[in-house]
Amino acid sequence: MIPVSDLSVLSVASECWPLVKTGGLADVVGALPAAVAPHGVAMTRFLPGYPAVLRALPRKRTLFRYDSLLGAPARIIAAKHDERPILVLDAPAYFDRDGGPYADPMGRDWFDNGLRFAAFAKAAADVAAGRAGAKRFDVLHAHDWQSGLAPAYLTYTVDEAVRPVSVMTIHNMAFQGFFAADFFGRLELPRTAWSIEGVEYHGGVGMLKAGVKLADAITTVSPGYAEEIKKPQFGMGLEGLILGRQDRLSGIVNGIDTQAWNPATDQALAAPFTAGTLEARTTNKRAVEAAFGLAEEDGPLFTVITRLTWQKGMDVLIEVIDHLVGLGGRLALLGTGDAAIEAGLHAAAARHPGRVGIRIGYDEALAHLLQGGADAILVPSRFEPCGLTQLYGLAYGCVPVVARTGGLGDTVIDANVAALASGAATGVQFSPVSYEGLSDAISRTIRLFHDPAKWRSIQRAGMAADFSWAQSGSDYAALYRRLKERS
């Protein structure tokens, strides 16, 4: 029985699955309301009014109108999606355009991204404070740089006596939303906000920096990443600020949607399966081979499902493909990203016809099939705040081979001697992200694959792990309550 909600949270984010998605942020924002509901938390999502979002909400009503929101007319509209409340900033000048949430159809960042998301953050603060047609919320939960100014607008424009508490979640420190100094004049913030204690950062406006500095609590999406961002190699220039506020910092591991990602019921699979019927994965393997033009055989099939970027270690993957194929492995890759990396992968596929298959783009159903049919998933990220793809791999018996960093290290148990002996191993970890590190991990994975008893043990241990939102939802609800009690 779900308890009566006694705490209200406005979750502010630039994307939300299934309405709009470019990465894992959308999955988290989409899953959080259901995760915290059992703990008496009523969460409402607040999103930009992209065309796809507005089309998906046919029944909506206007709560509030702006004659000028940082220079453009806008309105706050209310609707429901999946029977849960959602608020949207309908501002055509900022969001009614072709292309993606952050970039035009040519892949170039929108010229006015700073203003678009500043307006979004300002509206979020107004909504949370009860100034835009909605009831005042207890907590404003901001996600990533696109929402980073929301705690600043709360701090500088809302009286402390009625100000909601705020949480700033960092999904990826590498994206910070930095804009030149003259941008400050367009924000309609008081002059006092222009300081190192406010939104100023290295002579410009730092949107993520502002959220980290001014929010009442800071979270990252794994405990490991919360520790890493205190160090220069991961803090991306904000490590000093993080260290200074580490008493406000915590790491909460992301969960996965165990209804959408359930191999026993997944309609995207050629053959559903459970930990007790792993032999059915062979049917999915045949389907993957057909989809990627790979030779049909029983040897190890690796997959990669990711953005094709340096962060994700894709340059190193290109270097080790010949090694992987030389050991009898095959690779099916789904992703899109840097043109040079795409070219390197296509060259590898040309060298190894029937052994390496590349699909540029993203296909949700195909991603499910890859998890259900490949034997192992490679995740060689140089840094990874949490990562979801390895969690999907665990749930689907697709053994994760991951770099020992951030949430990857937190969620995958390396198949060392002790872990194998105890039946606890769920994957393979490696370090550093280099040719030697990744090639050794692939070699070790293939040796394990050829030991059926050990391989089945690793698969079943991963499938038995609980990476639902149950614990994470409880952790977020507890954080909200602590903040509210202290306010």
Q: What are phi and psi of 465, to 5 degrees?
A: -65, 150
pLDDT in tens, 111-169: 999 999 999 999 999 999 999 998 999 999 999 999 999 999 999 999 999 999 999 99
Q: Quick one: average pLDDT of 450-465?
A: 98
C-alpha 224/C-alpha 487 separation (Å) is 28
DSSP 69-93: ETTEEEEEEEEEETTEEEEEEE-HH
Looking at this protein, which amino acid is placed at residue 50? Y
C-alpha 259/C-alpha 368 separation (Å) is 13
Q: Residue 2 pLDDT more than 80?
A: no
Q: Residue 8 pLDDT more than 60?
A: yes
Q: Residue 19 pLDDT more than 50?
A: yes
**Tokens 């406005």 identify what position?**
10
Domain boundaries defined on the chain: 7-255+469-486, 278-464
Sorting pLDDT into bands at 50, 70 and 90, what band is 294?
very high
Whether the Cβ atoms of residue 469 and residue 35 lie closer than 8 Å to each other: yes
Examine domains 7-255+469-486 and 278-464 and report if their fold is the same.
yes
Q: Quick one: average pLDDT of 228-248?
A: 96
Maximum Cα interatomic distance, the chain, rounded to a whole number of Å: 68
Arithmetic mean of pLDDT over the chain: 96
Sorting pLDDT into bands at 50, 70 and 90, what band is 285?
very high
**Tokens 């090639």 identify what position?**
439
Strand partners, 378: 401
Q: What is the pLDDT of residue 24?
A: 85
Q: Residues of the chain with pLDDT > 90: what percent?
A: 94
Q: Backbone dihedral region of 71: left (phi > 0), alpha (psi from -120 to 50 degrees) or beta?
A: left
What's the token pair of residue 358? 């590349």
Q: What is the pLDDT of residue 398?
A: 98
- Please state which CATH number belongs to domain 278-464: 3.40.50.2000
Three-state DSSP class for 305? strand
Q: What is the pLDDT of residue 1?
A: 45
Q: What are phi and psi of 210, to 5 degrees?
A: -60, -45
- From first CA to last CA, the distance across the chain in angstroms is 29
Q: Residue 107 pLDDT more than 90?
A: no
Total Cβ atoms within 10 A of residue 234:
21
Q: Quick one: average pLDDT of 4-27?
A: 92
Q: What is the pLDDT of residue 3?
A: 60
pLDDT in tens, 48-92: 999 999 999 989 999 999 999 999 999 999 999 989 999 999 999
Q: Residue 471 pLDDT more than 60?
A: yes
- Please state which CATH number belongs to domain 7-255+469-486: 3.40.50.2000
Spell out the residues 6+ positions from residue 184 whose beta carbon is closer than 8 angstroms to its own. Answer: 193, 194, 199, 200, 205
Pairing of the two strands 72-81 and 60-69 = antiparallel
Cα angle: 305, vertex 113, 306; to 5 degrees: 5
What's the token pair of residue 407? 């949430």
Total Cβ atoms within 10 A of residue 431:
13
Whether the Cβ atoms of residue 336 and residue 361 lie closer than 8 Å to each other: yes
